Structure 1
Amino acid sequence: MTVKHLSVEYNKVNERGTFSPGDIITGRVIAVTNKETKVQCFLVRAKGKAEVTWHEQEGLTTVVHSDKKEYFYFEHIILQDKNKGDGSEIIGPGRNVYPFTFKIPNIVMPSSYEGKWGKITYSLRAQLTQSIWLVHKTKTEFPFLTKAEFPFASKSEMIIIGLKEQQCATRISFFGSGKVTMNVTSERMGVKQGEAIGVSVEVLNDSTRTLTPRFYLCEKQTFVAQSKRTVHSNDILFGTGDSVPAGTSQTITKVMSIPPQTPPTFFNCCMMKLEYRLKVTLDVPLARDSEIKLPLVILLGSPKPHQQKPKRSIWFRKLPG
């Protein structure tokens, strides 16, 4: 083994270390050898792609659903022998550095993402071929951000209009022990990564049970391959509110801080999309329709502290009768 080390590095173009359509990515391939090394081909590639794969059981048969889409592919040949395989190109002993430059196409592409059954990746790969039996490979991924301010706008322009609007929903449920009315309000539909949003629930508990609201962030990942579709959902519990005794009503507000690493909402990939909801539930045993979901769009942004302090019990009164 004459090649001791092979790596590919890139230079950052901003503080975030991310790239976007139209950016130029520069870097270097580093090869360390312990003596003169003949090579057949030495190259570096830049690639952007999306791919999905999942398995389904149909009877005794396992069916694989998969698909992929390539956004761009570039190749830069560092060294290649002129006689098609005689190993006439030479890499000197020691540390050898080979610079490269690629321009990322200025087209609509989704941001980097990795979900349950699919991912969107942007990468640099170097390959050094000494012979058909001796090939050295290395790879590094670079984070990519779409230029689209609203990568979900293609689904509905009304989403953009409603990002700053208050969201409200009401549900009236009838149980064996009585009627319960739940009103849920969120400050707005759009929230940036790292920001917080206040969610209020008003519970009119005209039943014989004590009820406790729970607050969730619901994630929905959708994957598509060859006209087939699958969904992966995940609920993140953000907290539990004060209990509402039987025959009383109470309003509780929970401040939900969106983790900075939460991937933003997106619809601009033909094979996958990511959506969110705010969900409030009441722990009523064996009851249906005891939850409310409100739309939530998570936007790209820097983490910011929430200025407002959470309001706990706003009011508490005995129901008449």
Structure 2
Amino acid sequence: MRPGGGVRSFALELARGGAYRGGELLRGRVLLEAAAPLRVRALEVAARGGATTHWLQGRSVGINAVSSDFTAVETYLRRRQLLLRDTGETTTLPAGRHEFPFSFQLPPTLVTSFEGKHGSVRYCIKATLHRPWVPARRARKVFTVIEPVDINTPTLLAPQAGAREKVARSWYSNRGLVSLSAKIDRKGYTPGEVIPVYAEIDNSSTRPVLPRAVVVQTQTFMARGARKQKHAVVASLSGEPVGPGRRALWQGRALRIPPVGPSILHCRVLHVDYALKVCVDIPGTSKLLLELPLVIGTVPLHPFGGRSSSVGSHASFLLDWGLGAMPERPEAPPDYSEVVAGDAAAGGQSPVPLPQDADLSLEGPFFAYIQEFRYRPPPLYSEEDPNPPSEAMRPRSMTC
């Protein structure tokens, strides 16, 4: 076979799969297998990524129908690397398998990959093989980018609450007032978490009403000053009907978030937003709707720092709604005989068995200290201090 023909395979391979984020190093290699000696002019690799929105919108102008084209493009990634530079002369590669490694430093901030009806955010790697007198050979590999959205921030850990009311009307006559108040303990959640929904529905009308809660995803596409939106319900929760003159209380009804994409808030051509909508269906009247904003993140709640603030806000949240109360006085600790079994306490046996390891001897000053205090019960509990502070140590009150 003459030099210049015979590419058996040409492909791209990334060093690791999964998703990337801004600032990481994207590594990979170009795999080229030649069936015969191959004349190559250049080999380049390019990384591309950005957001695109597009839709058609029709309108009437007189008796004619006119269709407007709305398109917007925003570029986030544009990198290029030459693996075989074009010097004006061809390079002959021997037959067989060849590997050409490459790497790209991703920008520090990138928007999360997304696929929607009227727009998308896509990232890919393209390799192009240039040969003399032969059409260029191309290979393409798509990769995913996830923008970190940390919910452990004061804004996303703050409780969200609201209240609405509506007059139920039927045939132009008032049938009573329906009121709704709802609250959630924070604004930020991650997929798989459960949102405890607290709500109060007061039905003063003459007909039963039905409360429910849904998590709605809103995709907003923007181009040339116009907007196109698409709404989708990703999770729902239905309550029991509330009869006339009755009141219902949701004390943390669980609404689980399914595996959905994170919120996209920092793109100029498209947004992905979430909201918790608590609504009451009123017969004969439009529904009563209360909307609480949500942010779906990628970094879950921290088990220590974020959880402590969340637990504190959750406790005050319950107290505000009258769903919990602090005890007036702390309870006394249990008696020693209630904790230790009767036989062990009477016979002087330790409730925790000692290890039977022959190499572990109970000798030495440390183990002697353990043996001395091993069978002693704890001191008796008393609500009065047996050793009150003296007058010299008693703090003085500051008066002014």
CA-atom RMSD in angstroms: 3.0
Find the residue that maps to 1:143 and give its secondary structure.
Answer: strand
Change (3 A) 1:262 1:208: same
Deviation per residue, 1:116-158 (Å, 9 max, x gap): 32222222111223467633222112222335747xxxxxxxx
Which range is displaced more, 23-32 or 69-78?
Answer: 69-78
TM-score (norm 1): 0.80
Match of 1:94 in 2: 96
Change (3 A) 1:303 1:35: farther
Q: How far is 1:249 from its partner?
A: 1.2
Change (3 A) 1:102 1:246: same
Q: Sequence identity of aligned pairs in percent?
A: 25
Change (3 A) 1:172 1:227: closer
Equivalences for 1:206-217 in 2 at 5 Å?
206-217=204-215
Change (3 A) 1:293 1:126: same
- Listed as ranges, the gaps of 5+ residues in structure 1 are 151-158, 305-313, 316-321
Give the whole-Å Cα distance in 2 for the aligned partners of 1:285 and 1:6. Answer: 64
Change (3 A) 1:40 1:228: farther
Contact 1:194 1:301 in 2 (8 A): no
Find the residue that maps to 1:163 and give its secondary structure.
Answer: helix
Match of 1:156 in 2: none
Match of 2:136 in 1: 135
TM-score (norm 2): 0.65
Contact 1:109 1:268 in 2 (8 A): no
1:163 to 2:156 alignment:
yes
Find the residue that maps to 1:181 and give its secondary structure.
Answer: strand
Change (3 A) 1:302 1:188: closer
Give the whole-Å Cα distance in 2 for the aligned partners of 1:115 and 1:172. Answer: 35
Based on CA coordinates, which of the two structures has the bigger radius of gyration?
Answer: 2
Give the whole-Å Cα distance in 2 for the aligned partners of 1:188 and 1:134. Answer: 57
Equivalences for 1:1-321 in 2 at 5 Å?
2-12=6-16, 17-59=18-60, 60-83=65-88, 88-106=90-108, 108-130=109-131, 134-146=135-147, 149=150, 161-176=154-169, 177-252=175-250, 253-259=252-258, 261-301=259-299
Deviation per residue, 1:12-52 (Å, 9 max, x gap): 3xxx8433333222110112232233334322111222211
Contact 1:195 1:257 in 2 (8 A): yes
Paired amino acid for 1:136: R
Change (3 A) 1:148 1:278: closer
Give the whole-Å Cα distance in 2 for the aligned partners of 1:251 and 1:39. Answer: 74
Paired amino acid for 1:99: P
Q: How far is 1:199 from its partner?
A: 0.9
Contact 1:194 1:303 in 2 (8 A): no
Change (3 A) 1:132 1:65: farther
Which range is displaced more, 58-67 or 282-291?
Answer: 282-291
- Counting matched residue pairs gives 292
Paired amino acid for 2:164: R
Give the whole-Å Cα distance in 2 for the aligned partners of 1:258 and 1:271. Answer: 26
More strand by share: 1
Contact 2:26 2:104 in 1 (8 A): yes
Paired amino acid for 2:195: I
Which range is displaced more, 129-138 or 281-290?
Answer: 129-138
Paired amino acid for 1:5: S
Change (3 A) 1:170 1:205: same
Runs (4+) of structure 1 moved beyond 6 Å? none
Paired amino acid for 1:89: T
Greater RCO, 1 or 2 (C-alpha within 8 Å, sep 6+):
1
Which range is displaced more, 268-277 or 222-231?
Answer: 222-231
